[in-house]
A and B are shown apart, each in its own frame.
Chain A
Amino acid sequence: MESFKKHTGSVAPLYQINIDTDQIIPKQFLKRIERTGFGEFLFNDWRFDNEGKPIKGFILNDPKYKKSSILAAGKNFGSGSSREHAAWALHDYGFRCILAPSFADIFYNNCFKIGLLPIQVDESQMEKIVNSSQINPNYQLTIDLDSQSIIEKDSNKKILFEINAFMKNCLLNGLDDIGLTLQHEEKIKKFEELH
């Protein structure tokens, strides 16, 4: 699995609540059997009209935010379906980190499996980040997983975030969790013998 250590990038503000996985990657793109190539369909129905032309006003169509690699979203991001395609699409598009006040469970888990870092940021901090990135498309943040901090590039101001130690370690080292579980294979066998 791809690791995540430190990342610096600019922020795309998409500060809506309850953005569901059907919006992140609409169902018509779930038929592919590969893991890659979903980025071009990210937020398809918000990004493109029926003729496939970019819809003006949607943040990812604004040339100033084209290079953003950090997404600032509203609470309960990733609700809905279990489709890991949503995390794949965000990652494939170029996002490395999602900031939101809260995430849906399955989506949150899925991110860790592919090296995409979801960070829970409280609402007041989120609002500052969203405002700054709206005013300045070049507003940059450095996300340092090891020290669990979000650092504002210009001011050097730091926000600390919480993350589960095990998941952090897996992400820092790009550990394959199937491999980790198989280290306990004897215990799995034993369980099977007993049941």
Chain B
Amino acid sequence: MSPKTMFQKIWDSHLVYEEPGQPSILYIDLHLIHEVTTPQAFEGLRISNRSVRRPDLTVATIDHNVPTTNRSLPIIDPIAKQQIETLRTNCREFDIELYDINHPRQGIVHVIAPELGFTQPGMTIVCGDSHTSTHGAFGAFALGIGTSEVEHVLATQTLRQYKPKTMKINVSGNLNFGITAKDLILSIINQIGVNGGTGYAIEYSGNAISELSMENRMTICNMSIEAGARAGMIAPDIVTFEYLRNKPQSPKENVFDLKIKEWENLKTDQGAHFDKEVNIDASTIEPMVTWGTNPGMVMSINEKIPSPDSFATINEQKAASKALEYMGLNAGDPLINLPINRVFIGSCTNSRIEDLRSAAKIAINNHVNDNVQAMVVPGSTEVKKQAESEGLDVIFKNAGFDWREAGCSMCLGMNPDILKPKQRCASTSNRNFEGRQGKDGRTHLLSPEMAAASAIAGCLVDVRNW
């Protein structure tokens, strides 16, 4: 038998039907849903008199719209409230398990599914959300879909997909002291471009990847979509298995070891063919910060902002000029020491317990600069609880950070957490698009460590000199 990639193995084992020229019909093992991208899908089901084929493989949470302040108060925004109510009604009507706002395991969909053990190696996972790529960190084929596709999956438990091409990103060498998974993925996006991954399922491999914790692997796979990739994946190994052991939805102890045997076979066979291969040297990576309005407009903290003239095409030059104008920055200036007003530590990229631990290490015995408003938003209620049991909340609060309830929060500002126009924010989230965190707000993406250090300094700093 010819050697196969991990992606190919998962694809083959989920094929329900294929016919040349048509998108294949793939069976979906786990369908995650949230309030924003599903109301119209359920409405579609009702109009066509269809039902949910596998409510048992569908899991819902409320994350995008939730306030991160006192949860006992009613939601003020009437439209947000209606969207949340709609999800509740739909879950009741179609018998879908909902991790509602006050559920002890509520949180961002891409944080709770792994921590509950829903996400497992070898699965096909979809969600009406582009950062579904996060779950690929477990060796799953996980991808974001649109609302019509959500309806398709609800009705048929399958997805029609053209087979993506495969790309291997091999990361060799070691990350230096102070360099995180966030710096690594930002650097990768910088190297392959924001559409470098379009049409591909990426597999990350190499020693720098296998040395990462599950949390860090999720950070990498999460941002695969920022390179345009359909999915990002990492082969499951002992780190994956130990993470999954004893999670509420993981296979029970007596079958768990058998499962491991199965999962071990998922990894890409020696000699398997990839459509594209990219090599990255981890040892050259420095702390990364974005200067522009997409995640590919990024540089290491000690570089100077590139001149628009340095870009190859006129369209890229125009985009760079426009981005600099929006960001209120000039070509040739450094980012280091740039004053900031806000800091956001959160989002499905960097709001897991490890992220909070790293940020707390910087915050301890320090104080947020008087000119900065900083907030920490745990990715899930479980992360929040864990952090509190370790006293991280006290460290943050003593340092002057706001300690919030779990949700998407200022990653996209659908709830009241937004930037004011021209406010400059150091953010651990994944998108620095214009207006993403609030109209005319200016976002710099970076790691949790860099964000915490910048909150204290009141400006962007190099965490290695901290």
Q: In the assembled complex, how far is the CB of residue B101 from the closest CB belonging to chain A, in whole angstroms?
A: 15
In B77-97, which residues have CB < 8 Å from any A CB?
Answer: 77, 79-80, 82-83, 86
Chain A min CB distance to B426 (Å):
19
Partner of A79, one of B148, B149, B294, B436: B294
Give bound CA distance, A94 to B21, whole Å.
31
In the bound complex, residues from chain B placing their C-beta under 8 Å from that of A109 are: 145-146, 149
Q: Does A28 contact B (CB under 8 A)?
A: yes
The answer to whether B195 touches A110, judged by C-beta atoms less than 8 angstroms apart, is no
Which residues of A sit under 8 angstroms from B195, Cβ to Cβ?
18, 75-76, 79, 102, 104
Q: Is B433 an interface residue (CB 8 A)?
A: yes
Q: A17-B315, A81-B431 are in contact. List 18 more A-B contacts (CB 8 A).
A: A15-B315, A18-B194, A23-B433, A27-B412, A27-B414, A27-B436, A33-B40, A33-B86, A34-B39, A74-B319, A84-B40, A109-B149, A110-B146, A110-B148, A110-B149, A178-B156, A184-B25, A187-B16
Kindly name the residue among A30, A75, A105, A109 whose own CB sees the greatest number of chain B CB atoms within 10 A: A105
**Nearest B residue (CB) for A109:** B146
- Closest chain-B Cβ to A63's Cβ sits at a distance in Å of 24
Q: How far is the CA of A76 from the CA of B194 in the complex (A)?
A: 8
Q: Does B263 sit at the interface, judged by CB under 8 A?
A: no
Whole-angstrom distance between the alpha carbons of A26 and B463 in the complex? Answer: 33
- CB-defined interface of B435-456 with A at 8 Å, one 1/0 digit per residue? 1100100000000000000000
Interface size on A, residues (CB 8 A): 52
Query: Residue on A with the closest CB to B129?
Result: A82
- B298: CB under 8 A from chain A? no
Contact A31 B50 (CB under 8 A): no
Q: Which of A16, A83, A176 lies at the interface centre, i.e. has the most chain B CB atoms within 10 A of its CB?
A: A83
Chain B residue nearest in CB terms to A28: B414
Residues of A contacting B248 in the complex (Cβ-Cβ under 8 angstroms)? none
10 contacts between A and B (CB under 8 A): A15-B315, A16-B319, A30-B414, A76-B228, A82-B37, A82-B146, A104-B198, A165-B21, A184-B17, A195-B27
B65 touches A31 (CB 8 A): yes
Given contacts A82-B146, A109-B149, contact A188 B129 (CB under 8 A): no
Q: A79-B294, A84-B37 are in contact. Are A181 and B228 (CB under 8 A)?
A: no
B146-A84 in contact (CB<8A)? yes
